[in-house]
Chain A
Amino acid sequence: MYNTNKTIVAVSVAALLTGSAFAMSENSNGNAEVSAKIDGKYASNYAEIIKNADGKYLDKAVIEAILGEEATHGRNGMVGKLDPANPYSFEVDDSIDGGNHGNAQCKIPKAFVEVHESAAKNYFDDDRFVARGFGTPIAETALEKWNISVDGDGKGLPDPSVGMTIEEGGQIYVQFCAMCHGEFGEGAKGYLALAVEEDLVTSSFTDPAPMKSVGNYWPYAVTLFDYIRRTMPFWTPNAPYIGDAGYLGMAGYILQSNYLVMDDEGTELEDDTFFNSEVLMKVNKYMPNQGNWFCDHRPVIHNARCMTNCPDDQVGWDGTGDPTQYRQARKLPDGTPQYNVPQRLHEDKPGVGHAGM
């Protein structure tokens, strides 16, 4: 069963969406009152406000004039940017209407007015365009040889008649992949693990970053097929002796190693499952982490340019206000001291730095 993590952001997306009848029509008359709001929340005359501020669309005062002061900082600001009506939002409303299983899109925020003006000049409004005729026409069918792209909707996948059982895929995986990624996707020799069960929530400074892999992180299963057919095996990618059937089988084996499911009942992939593009698209709908993604939230942080006696929360370790509280470098993973410290102490002659770098 697909299960949305109960995170602040994911919950807030749902809350924002229920009442959002995307009302960001262009402000064509240009005479909107300063208080005019989009969805009762954002200034609809944002373009005017930005223009009056010399185009400074990321200035603290400008952002707060458009978004309001209370919802612009920290986690709250991040949540606000998930509302497509927010002129600073990268979110596209139909990526969310399409649900967690659609091909999510992001956009350039409306408030980035100079980007849109430039694109209009170079393309959308270019009515003087005349083709130069310097290229050579080519048939779209001729490009099938090169076109190996499979998008998030599954466009570009092989015909459902192509595939193999998970067990057969596992045999190919062991032959071509296991030496670097481990027999069960656990990783080897420093190469990436493909199947780990790690919680993505670790905020402790000293904890190692959680490992991200297909099951606990990837939003799309189709990406796996696109990627391994495009790039693997590392030393001879897109190998004809593996072929679409083999790449599907390997993808199926990796998905099975992640215990991924393909329906509401939680049916897992069996060794004798014939893995083809249809089964792949089923798994694609049930990727566990798919609901936990959002488009670029930056810059939620927008500070004023303080010059003298700046507030304590801008100074020192964790904003304690004390510049003598700080963290220092750790030793290298092999236990040796920091790069070129003896040189900088003038104990060693200048040289190429830490051995092996």
Chain B
Amino acid sequence: MTDKMEEKVALQTDASRNQGRRAFLKGSAAVAGGVMFTQAAHASSGFDPKKAVAPYAGKAELTEVLQDGAARKSLGFGVRKYPYGMPSPFEKEVQRRTLEWLTPDSMASITMSPIHQLHGIITPNGLHFERFHGGVPTINPDDHRLVIHGLVERPLIFTMDDLKRFPSISRIHFVECPANGALEWKGIQLNSVQWTHGMMSCVEYTGVRLSDLLKEAGIKPEGKWIIPEGADASGMSRSLPVELAMDDCFIAYAQNGEALRREQGYPIRLVVPGCEANMWVKYLRRIMVHDVPLQHREETSKYTELMPDGTAQRFSWYMEANSVITYPSPDFKMQGPGKYYVRGLAWSGRGKVAHVDVSTDGGKNWKEAHFTSVVLDKAWTRFELEWDWDGSEAFLMSRVTDETGYVQPPMPQMRKLEGTNNVYHRTAMVTWRVHAWEDGKSGGLIENVQY
């Protein structure tokens, strides 16, 4: 930085002169007043470029521009320096991260996506969250096979090329570990949306419909359950009722336009839109059509919810509608009173997001946000709401309503019904406490608190 900044009062228009620096500091209400003044003076004369000046009135003006740096003064690198492109080194802090005390080893562990650093609704493949039960295998697709057998007329085995010959579909869906948010059952643990909501991602999958493949093998009427199994060390298995398998499941071989990453099941994985990611069996090699569920360890001992009275819920397939504010969120700090655009993610395992409402007073009053992305079935949806922060303590919350009419509940309601030992499906609202701007050194700090 070689710029020299001089104390110099900016040029002022008639309008901004009336506002002055004091009015600017008082925030947007004063600015709005100034705009009204300007509008009155230039009634229905269209865009008024002079309005651009008001908010900057009283600020020092730079008089020397940035000096040209190496980027301008020397040649950059040539093509194919990186045959597979990588992010700028300045983005090196944008990473999936784990909590090393969560699990005793890294082969049965999880990383969280940095969702506070993502934009739009697509998670880049390298930042997709990871959940392994037996490490990541490196499978040669030429050697990999998918078998469909059991209660079928014609057991079949498919090569990867066979699968790609079938009609293909591409769909954007979120994929969420049912333990997303689990750290919060016992109160707040960590101050980052990466930890509270990062066990999920949203990507575009391409693959072949499961119903096309099951029909190809001639599933018998007594075949009521589909039991997919992985080719990895965990041999992951779950049980899906046939109605669920035939609804909108597919077998994906591609993710965001390229082959699946190994971390996400290369060469093929099951996609069960809207349902627990644990069911989206990776490294898929076998689908057994069966008359009863398997009662696998991952649907009995794990991925079941212990209730306060000691009973337990099983086969909780669907991920409920959920939402979270990603900006401002605990990884950021407020920059002073004024206008903010509260933005975040909403999603539902049962269909499209219908409404997202934002509260700044801890849930007492709500305003409807608008969507800044496309609204897709069982996919992340981006919302945004303009907010004038007056610098006082605020409690930011978001609440989703999905197209089935389900309204995301507050945490006390969920805790009252389900206790705190549930582990999975903690999908109630979270609260970001914005510290008052005048609150000493923590002024403007954003803190994860729980109701």
Cross-chain contact of A323 among B309, B364, B405 (Cβ < 8 A): B364
State in angstroms the CA–CA spacing of A56 and B331 once bound together.
Answer: 36
State in angstroms the CA–CA spacing of A307 and B356 once bound together.
Answer: 11
A48 at the interface (CB under 8 A from B): no
A21 at the interface (CB under 8 A from B): no
Report B203-222 residues with CB < 8 Å from chain A CB: 209, 211, 214-219
Interfacial chain A residues near B218, Cβ < 8 Å: 131
State in angstroms the CA–CA spacing of A61 and B248 once bound together.
Answer: 28
Report A252-281 residues with CB < 8 Å from chain B CB: none
State in angstroms the CA–CA spacing of A308 and B365 once bound together.
Answer: 4
- Total interface residues on A, using CB and 8 Å? 135
Check B363 against A314 for contact (C-beta < 8 Å): yes
A199 at the interface (CB under 8 A from B): yes
Check B191 against A299 for contact (C-beta < 8 Å): no
Cross-chain contact of B314 among A108, A205, A234, A294 (Cβ < 8 A): A294
Q: A106-B241, A341-B191 are in contact. Are A310 and B366 (CB under 8 A)?
A: yes
Check A57 against B405 for contact (C-beta < 8 Å): yes
Check B147 against A205 for contact (C-beta < 8 Å): no
CB proximity of A284 to chain B, nearest CB, Å: 10
- Produce 1/0 per residue, B395-436, CB < 8 A to A: 100010111111101101111110111010100000101000
Report A1-39 residues with CB < 8 Å from chain B CB: 5, 7-10
Q: Which chain A residue has the least Cβ–Cβ distance from B354?
A: A56
Interfacial chain B residues near A231, Cβ < 8 Å: 133-134, 233-235, 297
Interfacial chain A residues near B133, Cβ < 8 Å: 231
Interfacial chain A residues near B339, Cβ < 8 Å: none
- Produce 1/0 per residue, A207-227, CB < 8 A to B: 011101010011110111011
Interfacial chain B residues near A304, Cβ < 8 Å: 407
- Produce 1/0 per residue, A341-357, CB < 8 A to B: 10011100011110011
Q: Which chain A residue has the least Cβ–Cβ distance from B152?
A: A140
CB proximity of B17 to chain A, nearest CB, Å: 34
Check B313 against A296 for contact (C-beta < 8 Å): yes
CB proximity of A269 to chain B, nearest CB, Å: 20
Cross-chain contact of A147 among B148, B288, B311, B433 (Cβ < 8 A): B288
A149 at the interface (CB under 8 A from B): yes
State in angstroms the CA–CA spacing of A84 and B301 once bound together.
Answer: 24
Q: A122-B246, A212-B301 are in contact. Are A339 and B191 (CB under 8 A)?
A: yes
CB proximity of A295 to chain B, nearest CB, Å: 5
Check B403 against A305 for contact (C-beta < 8 Å): no
Check B447 against A328 for contact (C-beta < 8 Å): yes
Check A135 against B315 for contact (C-beta < 8 Å): no
Interfacial chain A residues near B311, Cβ < 8 Å: 5, 7, 9-10, 292-294
Report B258-302 residues with CB < 8 Å from chain A CB: 285-286, 288, 290, 292-297, 300-301
Cross-chain contact of A350 among B93, B187, B224 (Cβ < 8 A): B93
B71 at the interface (CB under 8 A from A): no
State in angstroms the CA–CA spacing of A350 and B90 once bound together.
Answer: 12
CB proximity of A210 to chain B, nearest CB, Å: 6
Q: A309-B364, A338-B191 are in contact. Are A134 and B442 (CB under 8 A)?
A: no
| Count of CB-CB pairs between chains A and B under 8 Å | 378
State in angstroms the CA–CA spacing of A52 and B216 once bound together.
Answer: 37
State in angstroms the CA–CA spacing of A323 and B195 once bound together.
Answer: 23
Interfacial chain A residues near B414, Cβ < 8 Å: 301
CB proximity of B422 to chain A, nearest CB, Å: 9
Q: Which chain A residue has the least Cβ–Cβ distance from B249?
A: A122
Segment at the interface with B among A111-119, A159-167, A170-178: A111-119
- Contact sample, A vs B, 29 pairs, CB 8 Å cutoff: A59-B405, A75-B417, A104-B295, A108-B244, A118-B246, A131-B215, A132-B165, A135-B216, A138-B156, A201-B310, A205-B187, A214-B301, A218-B301, A226-B297, A237-B233, A289-B312, A293-B304, A296-B318, A300-B417, A303-B413, A313-B412, A315-B410, A316-B412, A323-B395, A332-B101, A338-B190, A340-B191, A352-B93, A357-B100
Report B's interface with A, CB cutoff 8 A.
Answer: 93, 95, 97-101, 103-104, 107-108, 133-134, 147-149, 154-158, 162, 165-166, 185-192, 195, 209, 211, 214-219, 224-225, 227, 229, 233-235, 237, 241-244, 246-248, 285-286, 288, 290, 292-297, 300-301, 304, 306-318, 320, 330-333, 350-351, 355, 357, 361-368, 393, 395, 399, 401-407, 409-410, 412-417, 419-421, 423, 425, 431, 433, 441-442, 445-451
Report A's interface with B, CB cutoff 8 A.
Answer: 5, 7-10, 53, 55-62, 74-75, 78, 90, 103-108, 112, 114-116, 118-119, 122-124, 126, 129, 131-132, 134-140, 143, 146-153, 155, 180, 189-191, 199-203, 205-206, 208-210, 212, 214, 217-220, 222-224, 226-227, 230-231, 234, 237-238, 289, 292-310, 313-319, 323-330, 332-334, 338-341, 344-346, 350-353, 356-357
Kindly list 8 other residue pairs between chains A and B, CB separation below 8 angstroms, not including A137-B156, A292-B312: A104-B295, A116-B243, A134-B162, A200-B421, A201-B308, A205-B186, A328-B447, A329-B187
Q: Which 5 A-B pairs have the closest CB atoms?
A: A323-B362, A59-B405, A190-B104, A56-B405, A152-B295
